[in-house]
Amino acid sequence: MKRIGMLTSGGDCQALNAAMRGVVKGLSNNVDELEVYGFYDGYKGLIYGEYRLLTSRDFSGILTKGGTILGSSRQPFKQMRVPDKNGLDKVEAMKQTYYKLNLDCLVILGGNGTQKTANLLREEGLNIIHLPKTIDNDIYGTDVTFGFQSAINIATDCIDCIHTTAASHNRVFIVEVMGHKVGWLTLYAGIAGGADIILLPEIPYDIDKVISAIEKRTKAGKGFTILAVAEGAISKEDAKLSKKEYKKKLENSPYPSVSYEVADLIKQRTGTEVRVTVPGHTQRGGSPTPYDRVLCSRLGAAAAEAILEDDYGYMIAMVNNKTTRVPLEKVAGKLKMVEPDCQIINEAKTMGMSFGD
């Protein structure tokens, strides 16, 4: 008999269901008896004992289904040691739920914040397996996270659609792509969509360089320019501010996001019409791509193998196209950033793309 708990925490993405299915199929085909307890709304379900026993029916037909059948919520890692409004010790409550159900392990699907709490529970003595989920692809220790490729497809499709209207009206268009701290999604979608300028959080931009790139295209007879801008993109001036100063600036900013600020500056300096498109949460929605379905099936099967071997405390990662077990304590709390001088950036610059630097 194996008893496992499962939860999905943080922002959703397209392939959470596919990953859970992979784990359960990997276990059910190799053990005589299996009980799977699904916790509702992420860590919230584990804290307050909100769960149900799942059956094989729950995992049938969900390979192509986006979102998560368990629901999700954000439970900030910084608040995990802070009692709730009723004085409940959240960490102790999670442990009690785990032991009450006599679980062999807890499978946790989520991004960076989720991973830090998963490592905390490991430190508290629980058997943990973590699966790396995020459209941002910023989890350290794995080459790719599930949800990333599906989000690339959506963001790229948005840029593709903008191309035709941009060419028709000879305008500057900005497509704002998700990514507060890292720019992997914007980088890949920008290249795949043929954006002319790509602005990333890791490469502070100089608005003069941005405008220069636009003017260069205009002089070359190209009537439109497309910018792929990460929502966390930052100017060189703002990058010099302290976190406190920058936060205050954002609070007092008349712009809803950095893309609108960039658009306004371009219009002021060039007189060119600028339009901003924000695909927003559509980047997390819809069905997972075939790539993500395969990735999640492999990660899920690899997680099942670790559970069958009673080998816990790991993130199941993909490295050099092979699944591997990475100790949680070595990766929790670390971000995988885009290196400004990495090969893919240099190759994009070779093709004439500007990064505003």
Which residues are tagged catalytic? 136
Distance CA(353)–CA(190), nearest Å, equals 9
CA distances (Å), origin 16, targets 22, 37, 153 = 10, 16, 17
CA–chain centroid gap for 263, Å, is: 26
Query: Which residues touch 219 (CB under 8 Å, ≥6 apart)?
Result: none
> Hunting for tokens 């946790």 — which residue is that?
108
Dihedral, CA of residue 49, residue 52, residue 54 and residue 58, to nearest 10: -110
Distance CA(254)–CA(248), nearest Å, equals 12
Determine contact, residues 62/300, Cβ cutoff 8 Å: no
Rg (CA), the chain: 22
Determine contact, residues 126/111, Cβ cutoff 8 Å: no
- Structure token pair of residue 330: 């070595």
Any alpha helices (H) in 193-320, and if so which ranges?
207-219, 236-239, 243-252, 258-270, 290-308
Distance CA(213)–CA(182), nearest Å, equals 23
Determine contact, residues 211/263, Cβ cutoff 8 Å: no
Distance CA(270)–CA(262), nearest Å, equals 12
Handedness of CA 339, 343, 348, 351 (dihedral sign): positive
- Structure token pair of residue 67: 């979102």
